A and B are shown apart, each in its own frame.
Chain A
Amino acid sequence: MQHVVECVYKSLNHKGEELCGDKVEIVRTKNSDILVLADGLGSGVKANILSTLTSKIIATMIQEGAPLEDTVETISSTLPLCSVRHLAYSTFSILEISHDGEAHLVEFDNPACFCLRKGELIRPPFVKREIAGKEIRESFFRVELGDYYVLVSDGVIYAGVGETLNFGWTWDHVADFLRREAAKRPSAHRLAHQLSTACNDLYMGKPGDDTTVAVAKVIPASHVHLLASPPQDKKDDERMVQDFMKGSDIRIVCGGTSGNMVARILDKPLRASLHYSDPSLPPTAEIEGINLVTEGVLTLSKTLEILRQCVTNTGEVENLELVDADNGAAQIAKILLEKCTHLNLYIGQAINPAHQNPNLPFDLSIKARLLEELADLARKLGRTVECYYY
């Protein structure tokens, strides 16, 4: 099975706290993807330290192949004691999905993982084990394409407790919510965002507990091909466009001259829209067979601005409104965020003489640098990136 596991998370801090007491670690190894969610005792700095130590130790040890027993024992014996409660305590969930589709789920005192397949809740069988005095739930199962695995801290199932709901949201109602949302086949980003927004609403914007959602979605590889700038040598135009058209999935052309070149070689008209949804950005255009055609430098600059905000913390979902905006830059960002596992960049190295105009209020001669940063950001998002130069 050719699959990729998209892992993202979203945390809401306990009201009035600058730090979150929950911590998510996402680790990609040669053989598997690992998602760890830890919830430290209490809130604020102390909880943050507990959960950070817990998730970091787990992620690092499992990544290096340490057995589960040693990992749990290490946490038990190294966490600092809380001076108020005389406890060293952080709950955790560990989900490891290997590249051949085998999942290993380990849970300690967190709400049970929500497993969704084809819009229905599944309950993989689990065994209980005791390790270092902690009762651990452990399951082994196979994942399928389209599966969602949602790890949460207890702030999610208690959302709204004593405020909008007497007993909080409860595991079963969260499961119902997730089943309804998952039936719409959202991206991992979108599902994490929906669930976390719902929790925030139930808490009326003032979470009574740190509230964290981590989503792993098993998706097929999706290749995005992005062509920017024509080749240095005009003789290579045709070869570049042919390479660009070879792959499957999604195609984006970035740049007016590039758009015209692709249209000429494909012998299809380019229709530039005159719809200025955002007056600071040039409109997009259409070429049959290409998913998105945009202007180049200004649009890419804006796309980078959006993506930079999305990768401040690896895997944390940021404001999705940024990528839902109706303009070319947001559309590129949205594709890279929600529909891309592999990014192939076809970069032409022609220098556009029109862009060397010092009278323009914006330096247009920076495309090469923008594309380098784009590749960089996409890698930080966990995408596999290849660059081809012409």
Chain B
Amino acid sequence: MEIVLCVGSSCHLKGSSAILNRINALITEYHLGGKIILSGSFCMDQCTKGNSGVCIKIDKQIFSVTAATIDDVFRREVVQKLSGEDSV
């Protein structure tokens, strides 16, 4: 599974660095190190949509996350989907 985190100017100011640390912690917590490719991007053209969060792309789907929502988004979009794949 591929996760792309935006580190452009706007997202940086909205806290990319903290989100990155949180994602890395979550990956460790759920032992997903081998299943996720985490990479960076400079802007995914979402800035003007009025989102207050940092832009991340999980399996081609774009989300806007904040320090308060990243855990939920990660569990729903990454952990659950990966465990769903495993059980198939």
Contact = CB atoms under 8 A, between A and B. Distances in A.
Interface stretch (A57-65, A218-226, A268-276): A268-276
Given A295-B8, A297-B9, A354-B10, A270 B42 contact: yes
B12 interface: yes
Contacts, number: 72
Contacts of B80: none
A384 B53 CA distance: 42
Interface string A268-298: 0011111010010111010000000101111
B9 A272 contact: no
A127 interface: no
Interface in B24-83: 38-43, 47-48, 52
B10 A283 contact: no
A141 interface: no
Nearest to B41: A272
Most chain B beta-carbon contacts within 10 A, residue among A274, A279, A283, A285: A274
Contact of B9 (A260, A279, A295, A353): A295
A256 B39 contact: no
B10 A355 contact: yes
Interface string B4-26: 01011110111011001000000
A282 B16 contact: yes
Contacts of B38: 274
The number of chain B residues touching the other chain, given as a range, is 20 to 34
A355 B40 contact: no
B10 A360 contact: yes
Main secondary structure of the interface of A (DSSP, over half): loop
Given A295-B9, A362-B13, A285 B42 contact: yes
Contacts of B48: 353-354
Contacts of A355: 9-10
Given A353-B47, A357-B47, A272 B39 contact: yes
A298 B40 contact: no
A259 B42 contact: yes
A139 interface: no
A293 B47 CA distance: 20
B17 A272 contact: no
Given A274-B20, A297-B9, A260 B42 contact: yes
Contacts of A273: 40
A272 B12 CA distance: 13
A133 B43 CA distance: 70
Nearest to A259: B42
A271 B39 contact: yes
A166 interface: no
A282 B43 CA distance: 12
Contact of A256 (B9, B13, B20, B52): B9
Nearest to A299: B9
A279 B19 CA distance: 12
A262 B42 CA distance: 12
B7 A357 contact: no
Contacts of B20: 274, 276
A283 B40 contact: yes
Contacts of B12: 281-282, 295, 298
A171 B39 CA distance: 55
Interface string A337-362: 00000000000000001110101111
13 contacts: A255-B9, A256-B8, A256-B43, A257-B43, A259-B42, A270-B42, A274-B40, A282-B7, A298-B9, A353-B48, A354-B47, A355-B10, A360-B10
Given A274-B7, A274-B40, 15 more contacts: A255-B42, A256-B8, A270-B41, A272-B7, A273-B40, A281-B12, A282-B9, A282-B16, A283-B7, A285-B40, A298-B12, A354-B48, A355-B10, A357-B10, A360-B14
Interface of A: 255-257, 259-260, 270-274, 276, 279, 281-283, 285, 293, 295-298, 353-355, 357, 359-362, 364
